[in-house]
Structure 1
Amino acid sequence: MDFATDVPPYVAKPLELLPFRALMLAPARVGDPASARALARPYRDVAARLTEWIEQGRAIADSAPALYLHEYTAAGLTVRGLVGALAMSRRTASRADRAVWPHEGIHPEQAGELAERMYQMELNPAPILLVHHGDPELRALLADVTRAEPEWRYLDRSGHRQRIWAIRDVDVLARIATLLGGTRCLLADGHHRYAAYLRLQQEHPGTAWDAGLAMLVDQVDTPLFLGAIHRTLPGTTLEDLVAAAREAGADVTTDERRRALGALDSTHLVLTDGTSWHTVSPVDLDRDAAVSWLHQRVLPLLPVPPRRIEHHHNVEDTLAATSDSSPAVLLPSPDFEQVRALVESGGLLPEKATSFQPKPSLGALMRPMTDE
């Protein structure tokens, strides 16, 4: 198994979100999977392709740089965050000085591929997601912004409601910069893109690549939903998985399906091959995330390692991929405060340990590098 254990460098305080001139797909094309062809191979043609789309009315280029307050509603959840160009040139090893805290490892080769792709596209196609507990004054300031009419307001092709305000007032931007300076935030989604940003900054210092597109969400104000990512393990057996869990010090109980699924909470996991069901209660799980316990304590004890680890974002998809030769591990949803505390104490979660949802729709806000 190829575990992602490399940790990209840490961006140092002060946290800076810089104005940029956004490129957006036309409202009728935001969230449309077919719109992805604008960002498809050959990547060197993407900048020219988007220019053509602007001329055809299929994309929009903003008239001037701004920070953007982006609010979207999906599946009944409303998320609002500041979108800007995250300054990446300052690095630190000191915990006290870290502005951005990754919580998963990365595969360097995958980050390198993404960096090369963005460089050829001359574009940050989507923001990474950062999460923090915002300053109350910043929260109030952004609430004032939302009282004005948004520059863009529409229902996109995926049914998500979009509202976007462009913040250009010099005094407001200066106050936002001051309030963000001491912020420390968790990198919620986009670890490989974050690592790609850092690589591009290192390779092209003093250029637009000194920054990368990011969205900063206040988890107190409009929290992202933090869900589990479940596993199936082709090449092992449920019997070996149960034995490894017991050897790791867990209490394992055989249950019927309904009771097992009902027991899935912050202190329990579920193991199944689709026929037999087992509830797992690890020791001292309150001091560790369930997914870390699985990867660090259980999987190394398997007599035959799985051929690979497959990841699934919901129980239904997990069970559809489950069989006697590919047992499943159903994991509880992580707790945001537990994840943050673990990361800030120097810990790291396994790859694909968390699912922060909902994410922004494709094409809502992009950052072209050709304007800077």
Structure 2
Amino acid sequence: MNTTGPVDKGLRLIPFSGLRYVPERVGSLSAVTSPPYDVVVRPDGLHHLESADPYNIVRLILPQAATAEERHRQAAATLRRWQAEGILAPDPEPALYVYEQRRGEVLQRGVIGALALSAPADGIVLPHEDVMPDVVEDRADLLRTTAANLEPLLLTYRGEPRTAPAETASDATGATGPSGTSGVIERALGRPPLLTTTTEDGFSHRLWSVTDPGELAEISGDLAHHQALIADGHHRWATYLRLSAEHTAANGTGTGAGTGTGTGAGAGAGVAADGPGPWGYGLVLLIDTARYPLQVRAIHRLLHRLPVDRALEALHDAPGSFRVRTVEGPLPRALEILAETAAAANAFLLAGDGRFHLVDRPDQDLLARTVRADRPAAWRELDATVLHSTLLDHLWRIPDDPEHIAYIHDAEAAVTQAERHGGTAVLLHPVREDVVRELARQGVTMPRKSTSFGPKPATGLVLRDLARG
């Protein structure tokens, strides 16, 4: 994917006064963090996080109450109370934040800031998945009520490789090193971090603030040449755009999300009075995948109301539609077999009855009848496309709504839930990142919840209060 564009037509990331936990007021920083809201496995993961610390961030991102309206009001009241009690406090001056995650050989570094929103047609931020309207509605109501960005989206862009000569430049002391965003990140590593913690998944996290005008300008000038791919957070991005449009319309005749007259490192503070103001920006983590490649994992499906025996019966009642066979466990071995099979053709692993059933080799005539033909071949051949178009819609007749389908990132959790409640877990193999990028470049969105990029930023390390800009 081409990630460069004209100067000033690319990404615009502005500093903000991050709202962060006061370490002395909580048990530990690791105890108040959470995975992103859609990764928390309900109800087990939710209860675990709620009991980890009374101030765990899950009480804001997944509040519990009888109705959606009550949940959102509860989250807003909790956020205000935690600020009044000094549990959460804003940093003294606007900053961009260098963020590092590390576990073993996995290392990810990027920059957190408030990104100027842009219309899809602008091609600055590229989505690659469809979204579910009910999820966008719920997230929009939560954001609207709390007036806060509670967790950053994960966006990627492609900078220069580590070894590129163009990356080196002299600093004020005459020393040479990387320039642009990469240079700012590497220089931040030599300073004391704002926070250091290790979460129970084994990842260590470090955060630094960047407030120097020169370094902010360096990041701004660099990112102006790039576009980004949404790696994680399509529903939150859609939420940002919806609320930005609402505030633009409410405030007059603004021309769209993210419009403004500011320039340079502090651009954005001077957003036009008739625009969306702070709502024209959204909290993101930007990762340069030329330096820090992300991992791509599958998102699995849990079919609540379809037991495994009925799923298999429907396949047997359609002879030749797919090949079906039982494969050996345990789960890691079954996933290895799935990976080997998916390299050659569409393949899925069904579980929930104590065994593993490999479903592969779809009939080509069946695919031609059930998969829409007005999309590129790479889209038509996706496992997620075949799953939704041919299996879920045509053979199993499963409506794509939360009552019937849950999307679960962890394969073991999906299998456990299926066995516990008598449903079917459909396990998928990950899509290659180059396929995701090429489809996004063509403006083609993948079926919802097709990919899971990671590692994902921990939720709760830095929030954005829209009342502060």
TM over 0.5: yes
What is the aligned partner in structure 1 of residue 57 from structure 2?
Answer: 36
Residues in 2 aligned to 1:318 and 1:75: alpha-carbon distance in whole angstroms: 26
Which deviations, in whole Å up to 9, do the C-alpha atoms of 1:88-117 show, x marking residues without a partner? 1x4252xxx411111222233432332232
1:14 aligns with 2:10: yes
Q: Normalized against structure 2, the TM-score is what?
A: 0.67
Note the residue ranges of structure 1 that are not aligned, 5 or more in a row: 1-11
- 1:181 Cα shift? 1.6
Structure 2 stretches lacking a partner, 5+ long: 1-7, 33-48, 64-72, 162-166, 168-179, 249-274, 368-376
Cα contact 1:47–1:122 (8 A) shared by 2: no
Q: Please give the per-residue CA displacement for 1:206-248, whole angstroms capped at 9, x wherever unaligned.
A: 321111101111223223321111223332421324666942x
Q: Name the residue aligned to 1:81.
A: 110
Question: What percent identity do the matched residue pairs reach?
Answer: 33
Separation (CA, whole Å) in 2 of partners of 1:74 and 1:357: 12
Larger radius of gyration: 2
Q: Provide the residue aligned with 1:179 in structure 2.
A: 222
RMSD between superposed Cα atoms in Å: 3.0
Moved more, 14-23 or 304-313: 304-313
Is the 8 Å Cα contact of residues 271 and 280 (structure 1) preserved in structure 2?
A: no
Change (3 A) 1:289 1:117: same
> Aligned in 2, Cα 1:329/1:150: closer, same or farther, shift over 3 Å?
same
Tell me if 1:226 matches 2:322: no
| 1:299 maps to amino acid | L
Q: Secondary structure at the match of 2:338?
A: coil
Report the CA distance between 1:156 and its aligned residue: 4.4
Deviation at 1:80, TM superposition (A): 1.3
Deviations 1:98-151 (A, max 9, x none): 111112222334323322322222211111111222234446414432342133
Q: 1:216 to 1:242 in 2, by over 3 A?
A: farther
- Hey, what's the Cα distance between the residues in 2 that align with 1:276 and 1:123? 43
Query: Which one-letter code corresponds to 1:26 in the other structure?
Result: V
* Corresponding residue for residue 103 of structure 1: 128
In 1, the alpha carbon distance for the partners of 2:443 and 2:324 equals 30
- Kept in 2, the 8 Å contact 1:99–1:182? The answer is no
* Alignment map for 1:268-287 (pairs within 5 Å): 268-272=347-351, 273-275=353-355, 277-282=357-362, 287=378
Show the 5 A alignment for 1:112-191.
112-136=137-161, 137=167, 138=180, 140-156=182-198, 158=200, 160-191=203-234
Tell which deviates more after alignment, 41-50 or 355-364: 41-50
Instruction: Specify the SS of the correspondent of 1:264.
Output: helix
* Deviation string, structure 1 residues 316-359 (Cα, Å, up to 9, x no partner): 22322346963332211221111111222232222222122332
For residues 321 and 38 of structure 1, do their structure 2 counterparts lie closer, same or farther at Cα, with a shift above 3 Å needed? closer
- 1:24 maps to 20
* TM-score between both structures, scaled by the size of structure 1: 0.83
2:95 is equivalent to residue 66 of structure 1: yes
Kindly indicate which of the two structures has a greater share of residues assigned to strand.
Answer: 1
Alignment size in residue pairs: 352
2:119 aligned to which of 91, 98, 107: 91
Query: What letter is aligned with 2:439?
Result: L
- Work out which of the residue numbers 283, 296, 304 in structure 1 matches 2:389: 296
Question: Could you list the per-position Cα deviations for residues 42-65 of structure 1 after superposition, in whole angstroms to 9, with x for gaps in the alignment?
Answer: 2442453232243xxx33421111
Q: 1:120/1:328 Cα in 2 relative to 1: closer, same or farther (>3 Å)? A: closer
Q: Give, in whole Å, the separation in 1 of the partners of 2:423 and 2:456.
A: 30
CA contact (8 A) 2:120 2:126 kept: no
CA contact (8 A) 2:338 2:358 kept: no
Structure 1 pair 344–321 and aligned structure 2 pair: CA distance change class (3 A) = same
**Residue 3 of structure 1 aligns with which residue?**
none
Does 330-339 or 260-269 show the bigger shift?
A: 260-269
Q: Which moved more, 1:312-321 or 1:182-191?
A: 312-321
Contact 1:30–1:362 (8 Å) recurs in 2: no
